[in-house]
Amino acid sequence: KSWTKWDSKSRKKFPYKYAAEERIFMLEGQAELTPDDGSPMVTISKGDQVIIQKGFECKWKVTKRIKKYYT
């Protein structure tokens, strides 16, 4: 698979449901991910590598503009 670059630009808060596993490499910025199942909030930021499982549902809150690669 190839990696896609994403920039949050003006997106600040949004819900998201992952239809497939996603791998993320954070180039810049920071966000808080709050799982819909009541699990504790997770903060991801510049330099983090994250694997999100298929079916995960959360609310994103971008606290610093994000630039990331994902696949």
Domains and CATH numbers, the chain: 4-70 (2.60.120.10)
pLDDT tens-place string over residues 6-50: 999 989 999 999 999 999 999 999 999 999 999 999 999 999 999
Is the entire prediction scored with pTM above 0.85? yes
Average pLDDT over residues 58-71: 98
> Is the predicted pLDDT of residue 1 greater than 80, yes or no?
no
Q: Is the dihedral angle over the CA atoms 13, 57, 29, 70 positive or is it negative?
A: negative
Tokens encoding 6: 């994403």
